[in-house]
Structure 1
Amino acid sequence: MTYLRSYPNLLADIGGTNARFALETAPGKHEAILVLPCAHYPTLSDAIRAYLTSPVAAGVKIKKAGVAIANPVHSDVVQMTNHHWSFSIQAVQKEFDFQTLLVVNDFKALAMALPFLDHTQKYQVGTGQPQNNSAIGLLGAGTGLGVSGLIPTKHGWVALDSEGGHTSFSPTNQREMSILQFALQKYKHVSSERLMSGAGIQLIYQALASNQNLTVDDIDTPEITRRGLNNECPVCREVLSTFCELLGTMASNLAITLGAKGGIYIGGGIVPRLGEFFSTSNFRQRFEQKGRFANYLGQIPTYVITEPYPAFIGVSALLAQTDQ
């Protein structure tokens, strides 16, 4: 196969749990996707090497690589927040003889993907219409809580580096105040990520059960989610409802902060798994629950990203900018 320019490029999406890899064989064409558990590899280099020697990528010569990682990227050394990997970007580039190695925050990459998503890769929750040439907001719950946004300029979109998931959690009703009080017994600072994440679902479950003087079962997030979706456990059901409402408030805060009249997108691994439950939850009601700004928010659309590998689209777009 003959590739134009530098193709194939190596694309990676590194989270706290999984490392996803793909080859970009032409603009926007992603093949040979492989998901590797981060815990199985001592370092990022070990995971890259495992992919490049796997049957789907063995023998491929890579000159350009783009990595989206669930972590701030402010210098050459990257120390992951939700995993133990630590690495030097320059050292990894030299190790694999990459001409280019671009490493960016995963939600910055995901934000860059948003303009390229079509109706088969997202669905709308509630009403609202996007305004052209307006900011777009992004947040997503998974291992952590990612936040980003897109700002339109005359030269194209600019994706924001943001750690908005670590803003302080702000309760809006008595139930959420009791959850915060419970969490403060464990943590000096309760961020939004503490509750709107995989671990956060467990924390909400523990708080609600404790506040209702119920026995706390030793169950993990997938089991809480399963019981809640199947209506097998009232507390688990309440956990999921609370999670969706908290996300609605967080999304509305992001919308008015950015002036995101282009829409708010929900990514991450948790919400797509909730399916119809999320669509019929109070997420959108809470999104618009902003007093004098209710009408303002009512005009802003909210979308759930269903594309399984959106970060590849975004990091590909960012990598393409290095040719310009």
Structure 2
Amino acid sequence: MSEYALVGDIGGTNARFALVKPGRVELEHIRTLPCADFENLDGAFNAYLAETGVGSVTRACLAFACPVQGEQIRMTNNHWAFNRTAMQQTLGLDQFRLLNDFTAMALGMLHVQPHELIAIGDGESLAGSARLVIGPGTGLGVSALIPAGSEWVPLATEGGHVSFAPTDELEVAVWRSLKDQFGRVSVERILCGQGLVNLYRAIAQYRSLPMPLSQPAEVLAAGLGGDTLAQEVLARFCRILGEQAGDAVLTVGGRGGVYLCGGILPRMADFLRCSAFREGFEAKGRFVDYMGKVPVWLCTAEYPGLLGAAAGLENPMVNG
């Protein structure tokens, strides 16, 4: 029998796997596999075990970028879908714990190193208060950490799918453009990789400018490279992220602070620090002073979701 348990962080694009020893969160044999290369979870799971030479495991905790309640699991941003009980049997597992990806991300924040957190503005964490976890990647993930004695309870949410509320004329124009395309405009239509492209097209339309870029990486690179339109898009992306994070802080009472995660933000860390993120974050009318005291940190750790999945194996406050 293997001494290891397997942990995973399954997103819309990639499946990240690692092995951990009982009661530990130190990650070993980390691998990243493209989800598109496999028909379903079991193919990637078994390919990883074969690659590492472990053979088999009997315990696994996997984080998924989708709701994980109930028997039927269907990924939001890729083609994987399975029955929980049937998959557990197929994989030969005694324990098969499933977490929402941002539930795991939240747990992971408790195990990142101080040098992997960059402060965005000022503020000081209020002891005993909730902490928000939010991050744009293939989608927009939202979670929170709620203190419960000596433990933290991670919330499983779909906060990325709340409605987008514009705050000025440009954002109203963006909302109208996206409403014409999608009917309902959630914040994830803007605050994710494809959202960068959606925002780029909407602002180009509003400014009556050509829109030659079509991929998220192109918009990001052009904005960081000084392209005027793409730079405006990144600036507005940061402000809207600040607005949304601020709304979520008010909702959960997140005066313990905000962790910014996901695959996009670490690639534009300097831009984010100099952006209007804090302006949007704090612009809450009568609660501007309240918001000004809330600290925000950009997480640059490479595998926080895997750390959270490892922590989720043993955390008694996690339902999975």
Q: TM-score, normalised by structure 2?
A: 0.96
SS at match of 1:307: coil
Q: Indicate the residue corresponding to 1:302 in structure 2.
A: 296
Aligned residue type for 2:100: N
Taking the TM superposition and a 5 Å limit, the aligned residue runs for 1:166-315 are 166-231=161-226, 233-315=227-309
Q: 1:21 aligns with which of 12, 17, 27?
A: 17
Q: CA deviation at 1:116?
A: 2.3
Aligned residue type for 1:306: T
Q: How many residues align?
A: 317
Aligned residue type for 1:51: Y
Q: 2:90 aligns with which of 95, 98, 109?
A: 95
Contact 2:220/2:230 (CA < 8 Å) preserved in 1? yes
Distance 1:288 1:218, change over 3 A: closer
Q: CA deviation at 1:112?
A: 1.3
In the aligned structure 2, how far is the partner of 1:7 from the partner of 1:190?
47
Higher relative contact order (CA 8 A, sep 6+): 2
In the aligned structure 1, how far is the partner of 2:287 from the partner of 2:258?
16
Segments of 5+ residues of structure 2 without an aligned counterpart are none
Q: Indicate the residue corresponding to 1:12 in structure 2.
A: 8
In the aligned structure 1, how far is the partner of 2:167 from the partner of 2:107?
31
Q: 2:42 aligns with which of 41, 45, 50?
A: 45
Q: 1:127 aligns with which of 105, 122, 128?
A: 122
In the aligned structure 2, how far is the partner of 1:295 from the partner of 1:142?
30
In the aligned structure 2, how far is the partner of 1:200 from the partner of 1:23?
33
Segments of 5+ residues of structure 1 without an aligned counterpart are none
Q: Which moved more, 1:21-30 or 1:81-90?
A: 21-30
Q: CA deviation at 1:73?
A: 0.8
In the aligned structure 2, how far is the partner of 1:138 from the partner of 1:322?
20
Aligned residue type for 2:194: A
SS at match of 2:21: strand
Q: Which moved more, 1:92-101 or 1:63-72?
A: 92-101
In the aligned structure 2, how far is the partner of 1:218 from the partner of 1:86?
32
Give the alignment's Cα RMSD to 1 decimal.
1.6
Q: CA deviation at 1:242?
A: 0.5
Deviations 1:109-136 (A, max 9, x none): 1111222223122111100011111101
In the aligned structure 2, how far is the partner of 1:278 from the partner of 1:53?
40
Q: Indicate the residue corresponding to 1:321 in structure 2.
A: 315
In the aligned structure 2, how far is the partner of 1:275 from the partner of 1:158?
28
Q: Does 1:36 align with 2:27?
A: no
Taking the TM superposition and a 5 Å limit, the aligned residue runs for 1:60-139 are 60-139=55-134
SS at match of 2:260: strand
SS at match of 2:27: strand
Q: CA deviation at 1:316?
A: 1.3
In the aligned structure 2, how far is the partner of 1:270 from the partner of 1:218?
17
Q: Indicate the residue corresponding to 1:163 in structure 2.
A: 158
Deviations 1:218-273 (A, max 9, x none): 43110111011010x21100000000000000110011111111101111111111
In the aligned structure 2, how far is the partner of 1:266 from the partner of 1:155?
24
In the aligned structure 2, how far is the partner of 1:76 from the partner of 1:162?
18
Q: CA deviation at 1:155?
A: 5.6
Aligned residue type for 2:273: S
SS at match of 2:6: strand
Q: CA deviation at 1:25?
A: 3.0
Q: TM-score, normalised by structure 1?
A: 0.95
Aligned residue type for 1:17: T
Contact 2:153/2:317 (CA < 8 Å) preserved in 1? no
Aligned residue type for 1:103: L
In the aligned structure 2, how far is the partner of 1:280 from the partner of 1:75?
43
SS at match of 1:294: helix
In the aligned structure 1, how far is the partner of 2:104 from the partner of 2:19?
16
Contact 2:130/2:255 (CA < 8 Å) preserved in 1? yes
